[in-house]
Amino acid sequence: MQLPHGTTLPPHLAKYVVTQNVDAYSPVDHAVWRFITRQLLRVLRHRAHRSYADGFEQVGLCTDHIPCIADLNEHLSRFGWGAVPVSGFIPPAIFMEFQARGVLPIATAMRTMSHIPYTPAPDIVHEAAGHAPMLVLPEYAQYLRNYAEVARRAVISREDVSLYEAIRVLSDVKEQTESTPEEIKQAEANLEGAKRGVSFISEGQQLSRLHWWTVEYGLIGSPDAPRIFGAGLLSSIGESQSCLHSAVDKLPLSLECIDYGYDITEPQPQLFVTPDFDSMNEVLEALAVTMAYRHGGRHGLLVARSAKTVNTVELDSGLQMAGVLEDFELDDGDRPSRLQFAGRTQLAYGGEAFSEIQTADDGFIALLGNLRDGASRDILNRVDIARAAVGSELTLEFESRIAVRGRLCGLVERMGQPLILSFDSACVFRGERAFWTPGSGTFHLAVGERVRSVFGGPADRERFEEQRRFTPHAVPARELTDEEARSQRFYAAVRCSRDSPRKEQHRQLQSLIEEFLSARDGEWLAGVELLELAASHGLCIADQLADLLRARDYGSAELSAAVNAAIEDASISRAGGRA
């Protein structure tokens, strides 16, 4: 798949791309897409941002069938974006990295009939019909890129990861029609437990909330007369109508939106309204300046230590250390002096891991600050002096009074700067306290005086072991029951009639409608399809179909309203045909 501007996805992103089997979508799937998108466009022409309806067509979408993502990608390339198919939920950091590169990941799954108003799982309606049309607007597309650039640096906590996994499992269980009530109940209980386990709001959560209240559920304009631009609202036939009611509070968008949590299973009690997309960038920047990747230092280390996840600490020398920060010490001037990482730690420069050095599995110690002996400071700052000292016995004492003693056996340098000094038979100590003993193996001394940045994830994602082990999750396909297979055949016959020449279509309609009226009363969506066709031919039996559909119980006010709107559209069509 050719991406915009010759973009090539790195392997750690490419592994999430799947093949979209367009032929695997059933006639029911296409009918669901058709019903949802027709109703959405009917409502959103008057409620959404002015670019949405035109954008729907400009990115290659139509209401008649589920889109081919390769075609969508080709259309989006005209606007500097691309699209790739993915399977269900992907980790938030990966999703953001796709978007930062101008690529929209689109879940290939199609929601079931039972989830027409809203699905808890990522699907092609939400991501193609919700996100893609707004990308034709340059200022919105730029905000999305800006947001992704900030979000992919956010520090995500272990609690965030547990919450994400619980949401993913629950959404999959709810979307699978064969799931039992017990399985759904257990998944819901697991999610509640994960929510209770969140002890603080991480940077990842703050960015997630900003994303929710802008990209997913955002309104634009004035609180008195807002328009919809958030993909969650644009892809919901229920909330696209109810969100503008006075019962939903409309608050001016500000950084305070990150103080508001959200529930993905419930309509939102309040929404935020931005006057324009530039204002969203201002809110994003106000959040970015508080983050660890901008601050570094003590603040950044506190964020990383609380997270208990893999993050990268970058020193002023350019050295990057990626791992789980277990603890750190400060010197008398409140400056970081010793960092302790748990487990194997990746050492890198400029986002590229060192191939010539591997840390031990039992942790990594970094010593920061100035040396007490001024004459030996050049060992840390000049590569020629450090090279000359290889093979020598050295003792380096820091202002924190931590000392390193041993034989300098190796040097890693980049751009004329020593970054790692390796010692054999090393002892690292302060007074009587030993941090490293000669029997612990080679000690790698990180060169740097201060922490200039701390950001989420490993420095070199391609070569980080944890990233290689991760495999994308896919919901397995299932066998159809006999009744489901019969239903699919009926929908296929309706679809075939729709695609037939008008004279032949007229002949087929009578028998299909008779079959529906006699034995298919449970398949209301097929009835809506037949009603539309019957009305277009001016058939009197359309009135009988409409009465039958009006009398049904659809289980929700949102779905009932959408079906009644479809009936009304068909009635107008028939009246126009008779005229």
Q: What is the 3 state secondary structure string of 255-298?
A: HHHHHCCCCCCCCCCEEEEECCHHHHHHHHHHHHCCCHHHHCHH
> How much is the mean pLDDT over the chain?
90
Structure confidence at residue 518 (pLDDT): 84
Number of neighbours of residue 349 by Cβ within 10 angstroms: 21
**Tokens 């004329």 belong to residue:** 416
User: For residue 66, what pLDDT band results from cuts at 50, 70 and 90?
Assistant: very high
For range 486-499, the mean pLDDT: 90
pLDDT tens profile 471-491: 555 555 667 788 888 889 999
Rounded to the nearest 5 degrees, what angle is found at the Cα of 461, between the Cα atoms of 424 and 2? 145
What residues contact 345, with CB distance under 8 A and at least 6 apart? 321, 322, 323, 359, 363, 364
The answer to whether 423 and 443 are in contact (CB under 8 A) is yes
pLDDT tens profile 553-568: 888 888 999 999 999 9
pLDDT tens profile 524-539: 999 999 999 999 888 8
Name the nearest CA neighbour of 419 among 321, 501, 510: 321
pLDDT tens profile 240-274: 988 999 999 999 999 999 999 887 777 899 999 99
User: For residue 465, what pLDDT band results from cuts at 50, 70 and 90?
Assistant: low
395: β partners: 405
Structure confidence at residue 407 (pLDDT): 96
What residues contact 124, with CB distance under 8 A and at least 6 apart? 33, 66, 67, 69, 106, 107, 108, 109, 110
Determine the residue type at 491.
Y
The answer to whether 300 and 451 are in contact (CB under 8 A) is yes
Structure confidence at residue 471 (pLDDT): 59
| CATH number of this structure's domain 4-157+200-285 | 1.10.800.10
The rounded distance, in Å, linking the Cα atoms of 172 and 26 is: 19
Task: Copy the structure tokens of residue 466.
Answer: 């944890």
Q: Is residue 41 helix, strand or coil?
A: helix
For range 431-459, the mean pLDDT: 94
Q: Is residue 7 helix, strand or coil?
A: coil
Higher pLDDT, 103 or 555: 103
Q: With 0-12 CB in 10 A as exposed, 13-18 as middle and 19+ as buried, what is 495? A: buried
Residues of the chain by 3-state class (helix, strand, coil), percent to 5:
50, 20, 30
**Tokens 């696209």 belong to residue:** 240
* pLDDT at residue 521 greater than cutoff 70: no
* pLDDT at residue 217 greater than cutoff 70: yes
The rounded distance, in Å, linking the Cα atoms of 57 and 44 is: 14
For range 407-412, the mean pLDDT: 94
Ranges of H-type helices in 92-177 = 92-100, 124, 138-151, 158-175
Q: Is residue 83 helix, strand or coil?
A: strand
- Report the C-alpha dihedral over residues 21, 23, 26, 27, rounded to 10 degrees: 140
Task: Copy the structure tokens of residue 213.
Answer: 């209240």
For range 208-234, the mean pLDDT: 95
DSSP one-letter code for 311: E
User: For residue 578, what pLDDT band results from cuts at 50, 70 and 90?
Assistant: very low
Sign of the torsion formed by the C-alpha atoms of 445, 446, 447 and 449: negative
The rounded distance, in Å, linking the Cα atoms of 429 and 470 is: 38
